């Protein structure tokens, strides 16, 4: 088989990269050793913003900025063409008991993010937390699993080859240039390879000794979902790093832990208890609610704190798009556009 670009890793970053490249008229195939979107992407809450934008670099904020219009457009397309509802909604983000409300309000104004002092409108939220609370009304959310389902459908409709449960065994190369991949089902010839394997990005070195490991490590995140039928929660809320997301199906998602435990994706009773206590501290009514689910995911954290998007110096034609850590759902679309620009330049320079 022959293609322009072979993408390895079918989480949100690989799927969006395939979608963008395909939209630019390039032939792509997408490979995953598991099913698509079943690793970190399946664990995500689906908030389309940095939790506290003022804590992040300009580059992360710029990459996040594009999420809203991209997902609005994708949501419309999926609803009409595939009958898939990605549950996109403009929930707003309520930052409770903020430590520096004036500074953060000014930061938001300077960065064209709508921010206003929050009005005490929800009596279910613990008393006192509205003091110095800020509302970022434009923050939206969606259901990442639905986005995965939708992107797979659009890619299939566009004739993209999707290889699930496929192992990549080695990089094919000639004279320092990538020529494709050797996979468990055979060889794929390609002009370029894009590596989007999230927290497993360092495994690239297993395919070729010439390649240095992308500086990415796994950071485990655990979350829980409550049955919240009848609870009044209009906005996503965050307090001291802990957030609650009200979903359209009547659940509230609560997250998340940040754990440096290597490639261990277990869920733990300690995390469940911590998440429960921190949720009750925001919304006391959750004490009486059933926890429906607990799950975890391994986030791809880069050493620099920025996503790594671009060509690798070691071999010509080898590109990466990874390291999105806590905001891979948010940054997937803009990162895809960024890597697509570079891949197009590379292919046109041949």
Neighbours of 347 (CB within 10 A): 15
Is 322 among the residues that bind ligand FAD (CB under 6 A)?
Answer: yes
Is 242 among the residues that bind ligand FAD (CB under 6 A)?
Answer: no
Take residue 338 and report the two structure tokens written for it.
């960024």
Of 286 and 329, CB closest to ligand FAD? 329
Of 109 and 210, CB closest to ligand FAD? 210
Of 5 and 130, CB closest to ligand FAD? 5
Is 218 among the residues that bind ligand FAD (CB under 6 A)?
Answer: no
Secondary structure of residue 318 in the 3-state scheme = strand
Residue 8: closest CA among 24, 26, 28, 27 = 28
Stretch that binds ligand FAD, among 34-42, 52-60, 101-109, 111-119 (CB under 6 A): 34-42
Which residue in the set 6, 7, 8, 162 belongs to the binding site for ligand FAD (CB under 6 A)?
A: 8
Residue with tokens 């900025």: 65
Is 91 among the residues that bind ligand FAD (CB under 6 A)?
Answer: no
Cα dist. 127→253, 284, 299 in Å?
21, 10, 33
Q: Considering only residues 57-76, where is the footprint of ligand FAD by CB under 6 A?
A: none
CA–CA dist 14, 231 (Å, integer): 36
In the complex, minimum distance from the CB of residue 69 to ligand FAD, in angstroms, rounded to a whole number: 15
User: Which residues pair with residue 178 across a beta bridge?
Assistant: 173
Which residue in the set 115, 324, 333, 339 belongs to the binding site for ligand FAD (CB under 6 A)?
A: 324
Cα dist. 207→45, 195, 312 in Å?
32, 11, 14
Is 203 among the residues that bind ligand FAD (CB under 6 A)?
Answer: yes
CA–CA dist 14, 240 (Å, integer): 32
Q: Which residues bind ligand FAD (CB under 6 A)?
A: 8-14, 31-34, 38-41, 43-47, 168, 196-200, 203, 221, 223, 255-256, 297, 299-300, 322, 324-330
């Amino acid at each position: 088989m022959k293609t322009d670009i072979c993408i390895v890793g079918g989480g949100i970053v690989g799927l969006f990269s395939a979608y963008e490249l395909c939209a630019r008229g390039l032939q792509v195939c997408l490979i995953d050793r598991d099913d698509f979107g079943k690793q970190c992407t399946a664990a995500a809450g689906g908030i389309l913003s940095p939790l506290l934008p003022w804590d992040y670099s300009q580059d992360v904020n710029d990459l996040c900025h594009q999420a809203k219009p991209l997902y609005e457009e994708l949501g419309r397309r999926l609803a009409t063409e595939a009958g898939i509802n990605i549950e996109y909604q403009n929930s707003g983000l309520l930052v409770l008991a903020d430590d520096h409300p004036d500074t953060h309000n000014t930061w938001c104004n300077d960065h064209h993010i709508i921010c206003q002092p929050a009005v005490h409108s929800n009596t279910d939220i613990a008393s006192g937390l509205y003091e110095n609370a800020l509302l970022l009304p434009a923050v939206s959310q969606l259901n990442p699993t639905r986005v995965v389902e939708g992107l797979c459908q659009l890619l299939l409709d566009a004739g993209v080859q999707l290889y699930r449960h496929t192992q990549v065994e080695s990089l094919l190369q000639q004279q320092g240039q990538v020529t494709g991949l050797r996979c468990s089902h055979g060889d794929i010839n390609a002009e370029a390879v894009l590596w989007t394997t999230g927290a497993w990005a360092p495994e690239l070195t297993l395919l070729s000794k010439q390649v240095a490991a992308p500086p990415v490590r796994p950071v485990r995140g655990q979350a829980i979902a409550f049955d919240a039928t009848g609870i009044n929660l209009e906005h996503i809320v965050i307090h001291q790093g802990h957030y609650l997301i009200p979903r359209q199906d009547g659940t509230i998602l609560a997250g998340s832990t940040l754990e440096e435990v290597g490639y261990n994706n277990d869920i733990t009773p300690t995390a469940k208890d911590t998440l429960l206590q921190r949720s009750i501290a925001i919304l006391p009514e959750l004490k009486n609610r059933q926890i429906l689910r607990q799950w975890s995911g391994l986030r791809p954290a880069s050493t620099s704190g920025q996503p790594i998007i671009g060509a690798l110096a070691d071999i010509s034609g080898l590109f990466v798009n990874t390291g999105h850590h806590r905001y891979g759902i948010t940054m997937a679309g803009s990162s895809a556009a960024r890597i697509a620009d570079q891949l197009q330049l590379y292919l046109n320079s041949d």
